Structure 1
Amino acid sequence: MPWTTALKSTARTGFTLQRAYNEPLRALRGAIGAGITAFGALLLGSPQLAASAAIGAFIAGVATFQRSYRPRPLLALAAAAGLSLSTFVGYLASPWPPLFVLVVGVWAFMGGLAWSLGPAAGVVATNTISAMLVVVALTENVPQALAHAGVIAVGGVVQALLVVVWPIRRWGAQRDALADAYASMADYARRLRHDPFAGFDPDPLMAARNAATVTRRQARNRPAELRGRRGTMERMRPAMAALADPRVGAAEEGPERDRAREILGAAAEVLDAVARAIRTGRPVEVPERTYRALALRSTGPVLAGAARQSGLVLIGLLADTADSLESPGGDGDASAPLGGLSRPSVHELLPVAAHAVRRNWRWSSPVLRHAVRVGVVAAVGETIGMLLPFGHGYWAPLTAVMVMRPDFSQTYSRGVGRIVGTVLGVVFASVVIWSAAPNDWVLTALAVTAIGGAYLTILTGYAAMSACIAAYVVFLLAMDSNGLVSTAEERVGQTLLGGALALIAYAVFPTWQTVRLPDRLAAYIEAGGRYAAAAVAAFGAPSADSYRAVREALLDHRQARAELVTATGQAADEPVRHRGLRNSQLSGARSAMAGLGRAALLLEAHLPPLGDGEPVPGAERFAAVLRQETARAAQAVRLGQPVDLTAVRLQYQAWAEELPDPDEDSTDPRHLVARDARFLVVALEGLQQALRQDRK
């Protein structure tokens, strides 16, 4: 889209305020932690020390609000450690302005690289830069610098202790993630009743998988109702799809279709009840009529063949889930034969972090480009702030660093929201100080109130949260006798300057997702081919290893799809044209790949139980060709060359001639795999047709 349209769209997003607030008790808990630290430092130390204590407690509290499944106390302590280190290192370099500018730039670069570890790490690392810029101005010697670093660490410890002694919805994030996944499965069942080919969003399942990844200590304390549920849920989706699909399941019309709809409707009710039970920790409450609907004629003549098999599998999985929640027990995550999912502990994180950084240490990586961009902007902003005749020149680099994100849409929308919110917060706080002339204790109370407002409005919008953050910073700095040397006009001017630096930097040195779309689509095609090939190969060599390979390929397929969806959404807001792919090609390719995913899902649903199936001859040979040709097609997309998948169709035709003629009502694996593989071929022909258009 044109630059003017893109800027209008992102600006509108930045101004948007949602009618959503954080949990008031959590916001109150965070504000109390900041208040304890700030008032304690003011009582025992000085106003400057109280300001540092409040900053440390606030940022440590922000870390506990990030979307992370690690223990909240650990997040607060990690943030406090980073803040303490950054402020002390910044002070050591502050006597030499050129060295301090270099340290700020390098620290910002390292903070940018932290995004390779995830958004939570990126946000916390960004906040350490802001602490370095602000707290350094409050210290005058090494003992003071150590004292300020110490009270910042104390702020994190206080927040961590409050989380421990005042737990609010313990394991709430994990409960919500798993409950959302069950609710999404219930919604899928309802949509299948009316649309047998309804699409499915796997994002809730991916979130549930992340939530189920725990440290050893978490695994020992995890509630029983969060153990071993996700794997059972994952196996429901193929059974639902196979039951609803008229090509392999219930007939399109008639008694079979009515029975399939009845089972799917009852499944949705059970899954909703399970979601409520997991979210609240209460027993499952399923109406008796729902159980009767599932049991009614479930083994009778209404459903036959593969449809009956899929219905029985689904009913059995639903019963297992409800029964396990009624009598919770067991340990680990029963997600197929993979076993439990282990999250690295603190001492195991270093090699994981190093691997993540190495993976992004290439010029095409958005994370590395973001790190370079934010490092240069922080150094330039700090240099300009030093040259300006103001007492608080850090407002420009502070704003720039807090605004910048690895993608265009977030940087520009947050930039607009940050600028507007900061201006409003600065003006409001300055007016309050000038009109009321509050003492240090009142200023501390006002700062703590603003901190509580920032916690409360995290979900409301970046402009609202930025206004609260700006107000709390002004209130804290006003506790210094020189705190108002920098006027509101100067603060606003530097905020505008910092925002402009961030926006200009992205325009000059962008990271466009648009130009990465061919690579993202190629990765999606390759992952989809591996998933389909693994499912076919499992018929040729049914074993625990081949079934595990199907599961792993499915996870890779979901991840590749999620990355393509994210990149497509970000590219839609960018002011550049598609290079190598037109919108119509991308849309057609995604539709064809969705069909490939559905076909692979049917294959997965029809895999015989371990030990019950005989190898299907020729399946592994066809799977090898399928894997090879989809990889070749993916490389053609990357290079902008024509895609030719004819070899898959020819190999399927040769293979089909070796197998018995498909019987629509048969549950013989040879019939099922031949029938389902035909849908793979049709989907790949659609992909070839979608990408055969003239590329521009």
Structure 2
Amino acid sequence: MSWLRALRETARSGLTVERRRLAPVVAARGALGLALVVGFSLAFFGPAVAASSAFGAFQAAIATFQRSWRPRPTLALASGGSLAVSTFLGYLTGAHTVLFLALLVLWTFLSGLAWAAGPTAGIIASSNVAIMLVTVTLPTSVATAAGHAAMIFTGGVVQAALVVLLPVRPWGAQRDALADALAAEADYARRLRHDPVASFDPVPLMTARSAAAVTPWQARRRPVELHGPRRLAERIRPVLASLADPAVGAPAEGPQRDRVRELLAAAGEVLDAAAHAIRHGGPVRLPPAAVAALRTPDTGTILSDRSHRVALRLAALLGDVVETAEPRTETAGPEPSHPSAPRARPTLLRLLPLVVARMRAEVRPGSAILRHALRVSAVTAAGYLLGLVLPFGHGYWAPMTSVMVMRPDFSQTYSRSVARFGGTLVGVGLASAVVQTAHPGTYLSAGLAVLCAFGMYLLMKTGYAVSQVCVAAYVVFLLGMEGSGAAQTVRDRVLLTLLGGLLAMLSYAVYPAWETPRLRGRLADWLTTSGRYAAAAVAARYADPAGPGSPDVREALLSARAARVAWHDALGRATHEPVRHRGLSHAAAEGAGHAIAEFGRAAMLLEAHLPEPGVPPLPAAADLAEALREATERGAKAVRERRVPAWDDLRETVAAWDTEVTDPLLRKAARLLLAALDDLSAALAEA
């Protein structure tokens, strides 16, 4: 993609406004917390302290909107506390340019590394730096720095208290994640009726798994219906695939296929009913026709023995889903000690060493996070110095823009830069026009700032440009409470914002971290993890039967899924980069990804029929497992070295497997695995 096209695409993405379901009650709660803090501060401490405390409450409310599975009060307190520390240090050094610049570079560098802990930590850390740049310009002294920081933290405490006192749909994010996973399974079942080898996107299941991890505080309060359906959905997926695939199940046409389509449709309706019940916390209402289809007595006379066994297993799993999805009055209670205990999420204090370890792990050559940290700290320092030199006054608009728009990848940085400039142009223009014409006093300015904050909370998820209109106006009205920046014109603010955005965009062009050259490595990782899933975790289980609940199958599957998501995320980012493919064209990438997905699907068919403990072992499966593991590791090495992998040794093993194994399912699955790898080689040969 050329630079011109990349800029056009990212600009369009940044200015896009999406239709999203709004949450006015949650937005009103955040605005209420801000109003309480601002009103109290104005009444007792004056405009300067009110502006500081308002930023604490404003940022704490934004933290509660982030996509995180931690308790919302915890996010508000963490945001308020970290912002208080940042601002306190900024107040102490604000009067000394050299000291403040050193603090700014250090703090920005650490905020860049914070992206190693996830987007929520990165966004909060970046916002802390941006707000610190604004608050240190407020009139204050070292003696009052601690008081300002305490009021900022108080803003976070107020927002956390409101989340507890005025709960809005508690456990709503976790309910949505689990319901989305079941709904994805339902959609998969319906698509299998028309396409027996349809692909499945595991992201909803991965999201639900992440949402299922709870802190000790959450474990004592989580509704019981949020416990089991996710694991059942994981077990249903290979059963659905095995029932639908004509290679191992019913023929492609005929009475058996008709019955399979009927069962798949019924499964989709049952899963949808369970998803609806979990999402809304109500009873499961099963369609009578779907229940009748799953209980049809003549299924055993129509389907073959293997397909009939799969159909019975599907009906049993769906019954378990319905039972666990029913709402109950009791909560989870203490974490049980048996293997189905909820996944533990560390508390913030216990998480801190883990975050530090992740940040230290990124301090290495070639790390995209490290390049982002260096890039954002250099740009912020340059923007701050330029703001001091240029005759605009209040030059923090430039570095504030840079630190807020910069992200570790190209597309987000450029799209947010365009959106920030456009939103600031509109927001500052409107707010400044109101200030110049109406001359609002202190309390009216505070009210207008709260109104802008409400608009930002309400429209936050519709697009970055829209939210920035509200943010820019919020800053103008808030600083206007005590006259700070009143002399600064719209032109000055817009030009400084443009400068900050241009510095951010230029920095990525000069010191990029392109995803395109790393695509082969991502593809090789996916191939390696998929090979381990098919080999050690699936094929080897036939040599040493441990049953469908074998833990190594689960761990290998999770690794393969993580590698798959990393590949698709990298491919999506690379699509918008102005970089040549460097050894892997878009067509080759698409074909290679499809081939490895088919390889994983063939392994999943084997997983659906894993033998129970006590079943006689199949010694030849150990040889196939070893051959799969070695072949995929050699193939991954070839992919990284830009060679076309060869599968001659695996082909010989599969040929021997055909003569030693009588089970048609196992023979067909082995051939499907080899065919998928051949398709991978064919795709890479055209790179």
Q: Normalised by the size of structure 2, how large is the TM-score?
A: 0.97
Is residue 219–residue 335 contact of structure 2 (8 Å, CA) maintained in 1?
no
User: How far has the Cα of 1:311 moved from its partner?
Assistant: 1.0
Name the CA distance, whole Å, in 1 between partners of 2:587 and 2:436. Answer: 59
Q: Would you say 1:570 and 2:563 are equivalent positions? A: no
> Structure 1 residues 400, 357: CA separation in 2 closer, same or farther (over 3 Å shift)?
same
Q: Would you say 1:682 and 2:675 are equivalent positions? A: yes
Is residue 182–residue 271 contact of structure 2 (8 Å, CA) maintained in 1?
yes
Is residue 27–residue 454 contact of structure 2 (8 Å, CA) maintained in 1?
yes
Partner residue, 2:377? 375
Is residue 34–residue 57 contact of structure 2 (8 Å, CA) maintained in 1?
yes
Structure 1 counterpart of 2:682, which letter? Q
Is residue 232–residue 321 contact of structure 1 (8 Å, CA) maintained in 2?
yes
Larger mean Cα displacement after TM superposition, 476-485 or 143-152? 476-485
Alignment partner of 1:392 out of 374, 391, 394: 394
Name the CA distance, whole Å, in 2 between partners of 1:125 and 1:289. Answer: 53
> Structure 1 residues 326, 404: CA separation in 2 closer, same or farther (over 3 Å shift)?
closer
Is residue 31–residue 450 contact of structure 2 (8 Å, CA) maintained in 1?
yes
Residue correspondence of structure 1 range 218-617 to structure 2 within 5 A: 218-297=218-297, 299-326=299-326, 339-533=341-535, 534-543=537-546, 547-609=550-612, 611-617=613-619
> Structure 1 residues 336, 418: CA separation in 2 closer, same or farther (over 3 Å shift)?
farther
User: How far has the Cα of 1:336 moved from its partner?
Assistant: 11
Is residue 407–residue 511 contact of structure 1 (8 Å, CA) maintained in 2?
yes
Name the CA distance, whole Å, in 1 between partners of 2:331 and 2:224. Answer: 7
> Structure 1 residues 87, 287: CA separation in 2 closer, same or farther (over 3 Å shift)?
same
Structure 2 counterpart of 1:443, which letter? S
Gaps of 5+ in 1: 663-670
Residue correspondence of structure 1 range 150-165 to structure 2 within 5 A: 150-165=150-165
User: How far has the Cα of 1:225 moved from its partner?
Assistant: 0.7
Q: Would you say 1:659 and 2:638 are equivalent positions? A: no
Is residue 181–residue 204 contact of structure 1 (8 Å, CA) maintained in 2?
yes
Structure 2 counterpart of 1:230, which letter? R
Larger mean Cα displacement after TM superposition, 114-123 or 619-628? 619-628
Is residue 648–residue 681 contact of structure 1 (8 Å, CA) maintained in 2?
yes
Is residue 227–residue 333 contact of structure 1 (8 Å, CA) maintained in 2?
no
Q: Would you say 1:192 and 2:202 are equivalent positions? A: no
Partner residue, 2:52? 52
Q: What RMSD over aligned residues (CA atoms) do the two structures have, in Å?
A: 1.8
**1:528-577 deviation digits (Å, cap 9, x = unpaired):** 11111121011111226982111111111111111111111111111111
Structure 2 counterpart of 1:7, which letter? L
Structure 1 counterpart of 2:37, which letter? T
User: How far has the Cα of 1:15 moved from its partner?
Assistant: 1.3
Is residue 21–residue 456 contact of structure 1 (8 Å, CA) maintained in 2?
no
Name the CA distance, whole Å, in 1 between partners of 2:321 and 2:112. Answer: 43
> Structure 1 residues 336, 497: CA separation in 2 closer, same or farther (over 3 Å shift)?
farther
Larger mean Cα displacement after TM superposition, 443-452 or 309-318? 309-318
User: How far has the Cα of 1:617 moved from its partner?
Assistant: 1.1
Partner residue, 1:666? none
Partner residue, 1:77? 77
> Structure 1 residues 37, 109: CA separation in 2 closer, same or farther (over 3 Å shift)?
same
**1:347-384 deviation digits (Å, cap 9, x = unpaired):** 21023213322332222222111111111111111111
Partner residue, 1:104? 104
Is residue 548–residue 611 contact of structure 2 (8 Å, CA) maintained in 1?
no
Partner residue, 1:629? 631
Name the CA distance, whole Å, in 1 between partners of 2:406 and 2:302. Answer: 60
**1:591-624 deviation digits (Å, cap 9, x = unpaired):** 1111101101100001123x25221112122212
Is residue 175–residue 226 contact of structure 1 (8 Å, CA) maintained in 2?
yes
Larger mean Cα displacement after TM superposition, 30-39 or 474-483? 474-483
Structure 2 counterpart of 1:308, which letter? H
Name the CA distance, whole Å, in 2 between partners of 1:161 and 1:431. Answer: 36
Structure 2 counterpart of 1:124, which letter? I
Is residue 231–residue 335 contact of structure 1 (8 Å, CA) maintained in 2?
no
Name the CA distance, whole Å, in 2 between partners of 1:314 and 1:359. Answer: 44
User: How far has the Cα of 1:21 moved from its partner?
Assistant: 4.9
Structure 1 counterpart of 2:580, which letter? R
Corresponding residue SS for 1:133: helix
Corresponding residue SS for 1:300: helix
Identity %: 50
Is residue 80–residue 155 contact of structure 2 (8 Å, CA) maintained in 1?
yes
**1:617-656 deviation digits (Å, cap 9, x = unpaired):** 1212221221122011111111212311221111122233
Name the CA distance, whole Å, in 2 between partners of 1:132 and 1:165. Answer: 29
Corresponding residue SS for 2:555: helix
> Structure 1 residues 139, 358: CA separation in 2 closer, same or farther (over 3 Å shift)?
same
Name the CA distance, whole Å, in 2 between partners of 1:151 and 1:253. Answer: 71
Partner residue, 2:5? 5
Structure 2 counterpart of 1:584, which letter? A
> Structure 1 residues 476, 116: CA separation in 2 closer, same or farther (over 3 Å shift)?
same
Corresponding residue SS for 1:301: helix
User: How far has the Cα of 1:119 moved from its partner?
Assistant: 0.7
Partner residue, 1:668? none
Structure 1 counterpart of 2:287, which letter? P
> Structure 1 residues 563, 335: CA separation in 2 closer, same or farther (over 3 Å shift)?
farther
Name the CA distance, whole Å, in 1 between partners of 2:560 and 2:340. Answer: 17
Larger mean Cα displacement after TM superposition, 163-172 or 483-492? 483-492
Structure 1 counterpart of 2:497, which letter? T
User: How far has the Cα of 1:179 moved from its partner?
Assistant: 0.1
> Structure 1 residues 124, 593: CA separation in 2 closer, same or farther (over 3 Å shift)?
same
User: How far has the Cα of 1:14 moved from its partner?
Assistant: 1.2
Partner residue, 1:665? none
Corresponding residue SS for 2:461: coil
Name the CA distance, whole Å, in 1 between partners of 2:526 and 2:83. Answer: 39
User: How far has the Cα of 1:153 moved from its partner?
Assistant: 0.3
User: How far has the Cα of 1:527 moved from its partner?
Assistant: 1.0
Structure 2 counterpart of 1:382, which letter? Y
Question: How many residues end up aligned between the 2 structures?
Answer: 684
Name the CA distance, whole Å, in 2 between partners of 1:69 and 1:544. Answer: 32
Is residue 250–residue 256 contact of structure 2 (8 Å, CA) maintained in 1?
yes
User: How far has the Cα of 1:274 moved from its partner?
Assistant: 0.2
Name the CA distance, whole Å, in 2 between partners of 1:405 and 1:147. Answer: 33
Corresponding residue SS for 1:574: coil
> Structure 1 residues 327, 66: CA separation in 2 closer, same or farther (over 3 Å shift)?
closer
Structure 1 counterpart of 2:161, which letter? L
Structure 1 counterpart of 2:268, which letter? A
Is residue 530–residue 599 contact of structure 2 (8 Å, CA) maintained in 1?
yes
Name the CA distance, whole Å, in 1 between partners of 2:336 and 2:654. Answer: 35
User: How far has the Cα of 1:420 moved from its partner?
Assistant: 0.6
> Structure 1 residues 613, 310: CA separation in 2 closer, same or farther (over 3 Å shift)?
same
Name the CA distance, whole Å, in 1 between partners of 2:337 and 2:668. Answer: 28
Q: Normalised by the size of structure 1, how large is the TM-score?
A: 0.96
